[in-house]
């Protein structure tokens, strides 16, 4: 007898093949049968007539794992299952909650507290990746979680918060922690090379550190060293080199491109912002090949690396608004040492003037090793009006969330940089921000993403950072319904079977997540029942907390955790996934 039968379903199985009619029989957490199951016994039946049944979405670039120290983690992550995510990969961008070593513990504390706003000493009750996985399992999970080993945590454990090369001793320590984590079931190594402390590494360090991944079938993922238009290709090549040298897969995380035009950049930036504000005129006049050119350069660079022997892919968020912590936009020299030293630097008037000068004069050269040539100089490359407050730590400044720094500065009669520094001081460095060229998701900037959204090898991801504070990205509520509602149903950039494949079997296969991502007998029963035409979202940047329509049922490991579009309280059916386990 089956535990559950989905009757009369239109099955889109995740392969990219055409839909077909079938009943889906589920038992013991698995898909046990597909076909005509009218005469079969089942503890429960759900009529899926007129509905699409497909695999649950697999989000391979998430930071939802940073929520797992919280008792209310399942509550915070409800927006993910409400939009059809049944599995996420955490530990991205070189950051995760494990492993935690006794060496340089204060540095690890600074690193995590800035992003997560946690109380490190109270929250962290584990050291190894294996211990963290076990702790998560004890609490139970709302959805499935896989983990990457974070390069940033390894590097701080071995080298502290200083800018120096990894010597033999540091490399040995990092490799031991990587191997222990892979043995515990991690899926690969992640890096945040544009951020502190990953930006202090070099390609040789990454190649050597990644060698053990080949023995475990692990993947190397990278928040690139640069997303600046003039050096983005070289950053992609770096991932290709690590992949090729070790015979492993490489993943370029959340692709985007920040323009840089050298001496004429101020003039070019004004023109670009005008085009963003007048998309009807710009899109009408600009030829398609010009609009596609920037992303096509990225896709061709990936293909060039594949031809050279690198097994490399990428993912993209269906938005033009990124988000990170505010200190990431400061020159790297400002960030060395603990949080107290950073706050002291930005509190000193003379040092503050030095920082501002480096921002206003900095150039995004390669490989970003000088004092002011780092690659995330958002204020110079995108303008002071590109940064919006996402989240602060204190109640005192909560009213600033969702506001542009330039607007706050105008009200206070200050330079936006001074507003940023003062806020960082008041919040002890714990300030998260959005960045966007214009109003987020203006039609002109959005048009740049279309070639990647259509590319058959590009995965769709959320970059989730749900911490229960601040103004969340609307992708945390509506990433996949936007992808299907806008780009599949409305704009016809790709068809439904291909769109499902891009969010299910493609990420499962590339990241080595076995037994998931397809509607196939013997696979785990991670399934969605939805109105494919009605699967949409009204979540937008200014009003992000809106749940999607059209998604009736979400089944995780055979258990319906969403019914009638609502999360069923108390049903924590997720699993802690481990590499090479089904």
Please provide the DSSP assignment of 259-291 as one string: ---GGGHHHHHHHHHHHHH-HHHHHHHS-HHHH
Asked if 429 and 373 sit in the same domain, the reply is yes
Q: Minimum mean pLDDT among 60-64, 152-156, 196-200, 523-527: which range?
A: 196-200
* Inside any domain, residue 267: yes
Q: What is the pLDDT of residue 44?
A: 96
* Inside any domain, residue 501: yes
Q: What is the pLDDT of residue 430?
A: 87
Split at pLDDT 50, 70, 90, the class of 429 is confident
Asked if 366 and 425 sit in the same domain, the reply is yes
Share of residues in the chain with pLDDT > 70 (%): 99
Q: In the predicted model, what is the mean pLDDT of residues 485-508?
A: 98
Asked if 203 and 302 sit in the same domain, the reply is yes
Asked if 393 and 447 sit in the same domain, the reply is no
For the record, the structure tokens of 182 come out as: 């892979």
Residue 179 to residues 10, 182, 189, 366, Cα–Cα distance (Å): 44, 5, 10, 31
pLDDT of 449 above 80: yes
Residue 529 near residue 51, CB atoms below 8 Å = yes
Q: What is the pLDDT of residue 221?
A: 98
Asked if 241 and 138 sit in the same domain, the reply is yes
Q: Which of residues 515, 530, 551 is at a domain's end?
A: 515
* Inside any domain, residue 579: no
User: In whole angstroms, what separates CA 140 from the centre of its chain?
Assistant: 23
* Inside any domain, residue 126: yes
Asked if 382 and 396 sit in the same domain, the reply is yes
52 DSSP β-pair partners:
10, 530
User: In whole angstroms, what separates CA 230 from the centre of its chain?
Assistant: 23
Q: How many CA atoms lie within 13 A of 248 on its CB side?
A: 30
* Inside any domain, residue 316: yes
CA angle 489, 490, 495 (to 5 degrees): 40
CA angle 237, 156, 124 (to 5 degrees): 120
* Inside any domain, residue 568: no
Residue 508 near residue 58, CB atoms below 8 Å = yes
Q: What is the pLDDT of residue 453?
A: 97
Order of strands, edge to edge, in the sheet holding 144-147?
57-59, 85-90, 144-147
Q: Which of residues 435, 457, 480 is at a domain's end?
A: 435
Cα(65)–Cα(37) distance, integer angstroms: 38
Q: In the predicted model, what is the mean pLDDT of residues 27-45?
A: 96
Cα(502)–Cα(482) distance, integer angstroms: 14
Q: Which of residues 401, 418, 435 is at a domain's end?
A: 435
Q: For 450-490, how does the pLDDT look when each residue is reduced to its tens digit (9 = 90+)?
A: 999 999 999 999 998 887 778 889 999 999 999 999 999 99
Q: In the predicted model, what is the mean pLDDT of residues 196-222?
A: 96
Looking at residue 454, which CATH number applies to its domain?
3.20.20.140
Split at pLDDT 50, 70, 90, the class of 364 is confident
Asked if 450 and 363 sit in the same domain, the reply is no
Cα four-point dihedral sign 519, 520, 526, 527: positive
Total count of domains within the chain? 2
Q: In the predicted model, what is the mean pLDDT of residues 411-420?
A: 97
* Inside any domain, residue 538: no
Asked if 287 and 363 sit in the same domain, the reply is no
Q: Minimum mean pLDDT among 71-75, 113-117, 170-174: which range?
A: 113-117
Residue 523 to residues 13, 24, 30, 209, 269, Cα–Cα distance (Å): 11, 12, 6, 34, 50
Q: Which domain holds residue 416?
A: 324-435
* Inside any domain, residue 290: yes
Asked if 511 and 389 sit in the same domain, the reply is no
Asked if 351 and 445 sit in the same domain, the reply is no
More confident residue, 113 or 316: 316
Q: What is the pLDDT of residue 582?
A: 62
Asked if 406 and 460 sit in the same domain, the reply is no
Asked if 196 and 256 sit in the same domain, the reply is yes
Q: What is the pLDDT of residue 369?
A: 66
Q: Tell me the pLDDT of the chain averaged across its residues.
A: 94
């Amino acid at each position: 007898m089956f535990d559950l039968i989905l009757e009369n379903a239109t099955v889109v199985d995740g392969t990219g093949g055409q839909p077909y009619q079938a009943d889906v029989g589920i038992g013991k957490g698995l898909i046990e049968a597909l076909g005509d199951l009218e005469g079969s016994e089942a503890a429960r039946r759900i009529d899926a007539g007129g509905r699409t049944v497909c695999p649950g979405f697999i989000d391979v670039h998430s930071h939802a794992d940073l929520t797992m120290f919280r008792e209310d983690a399942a509550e915070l992550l409800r927006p993910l299952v409400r939009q059809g995510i049944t599995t996420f990969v955490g530990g991205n961008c070189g950051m995760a909650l494990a492993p935690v070593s006794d060496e340089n513990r204060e540095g690890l504390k600074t690193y995590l507290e800035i992003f997560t706003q946690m109380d490190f000493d109270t929250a962290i009750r584990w050291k190894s990746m294996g211990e963290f996985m076990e702790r998560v399992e004890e609490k139970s999970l709302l959805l499935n979680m896989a983990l990457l080993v974070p390069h940033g945590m390894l590097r701080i454990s071995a080298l502290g918060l200083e800018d120096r090369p990894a010597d033999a001793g540091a490399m040995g320590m990092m490799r031991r922690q990587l191997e222990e984590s892979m043995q515990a079931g991690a899926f690969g190594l992640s890096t945040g090379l544009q951020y502190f402390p990953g930006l202090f590494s070099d390609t040789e360090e990454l190649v050597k550190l990644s060698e053990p991944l080949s023995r475990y079938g692990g993947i190397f993922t990278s928040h690139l060293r640069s997303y600046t238009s003039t050096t983005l290709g070289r950053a992609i090549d770096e991932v290709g080199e690590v992949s090729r040298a070790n015979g492993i897969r490489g993943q370029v995380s959340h692709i985007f491109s920040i323009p840089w035009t050298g001496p004429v950049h101020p003039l070019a930036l004004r023109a670009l912002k005008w085009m963003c504000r007048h998309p009807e005129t710009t899109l009408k006049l600009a030829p398609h090949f010009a609009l596609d050119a920037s992303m096509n350069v990225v896709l061709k660079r990936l293909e060039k690396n594949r031809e050279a022997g690198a097994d490399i892919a990428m993912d993209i968020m269906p938005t033009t608004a990124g988000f990170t912590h505010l200190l990431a936009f400061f020159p790297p020299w400002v960030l060395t040492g603990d949080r107290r030293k950073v706050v002291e630097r930005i509190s000193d008037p003379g040092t503050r003037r030095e920082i501002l000068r480096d921002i206003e004069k900095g150039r995004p050269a390669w490989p970003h090793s000088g004092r002011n040539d780092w690659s995330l100089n958002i204020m110079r490359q995108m303008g002071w009006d590109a940064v919006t407050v996402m989240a602060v730590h204190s109640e005192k400044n909560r009213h600033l969330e969702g506001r542009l720094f330039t607007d706050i500065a105008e009200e206070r009669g200050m330079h936006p940089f001074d507003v940023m520094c003062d806020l960082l001081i008041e919040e002890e460095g714990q300030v998260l921000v959005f960045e966007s060229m214009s109003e987020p998701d203006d039609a002109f900037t959005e048009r740049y993403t279309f070639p990647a959204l259509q590319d058959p090898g590009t995965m769709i991801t959320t970059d989730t950072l749900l911490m229960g504070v601040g103004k969340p990205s609307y992708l945390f509520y509506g990433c996949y319904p936007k992808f299907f509602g806008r780009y599949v149903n409305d704009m016809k950039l790709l068809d439904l079977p291909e769109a499902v494949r891009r969010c299910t079997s493609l990420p499962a296969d590339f990241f080595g997540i076995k037994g998931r991502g397809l509607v196939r007998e013997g696979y785990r029963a991670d399934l969605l029942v939805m109105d494919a035409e009605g699967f949409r979202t009204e979540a937008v940047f200014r009003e992000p907390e809106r749940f999607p329509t059209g998604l009736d049922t979400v089944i995780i490991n055979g258990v319906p955790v969403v019914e009638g579009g609502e999360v069923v309280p108390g049903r924590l059916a997720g699993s802690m996934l481990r590499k090479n386990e089904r």
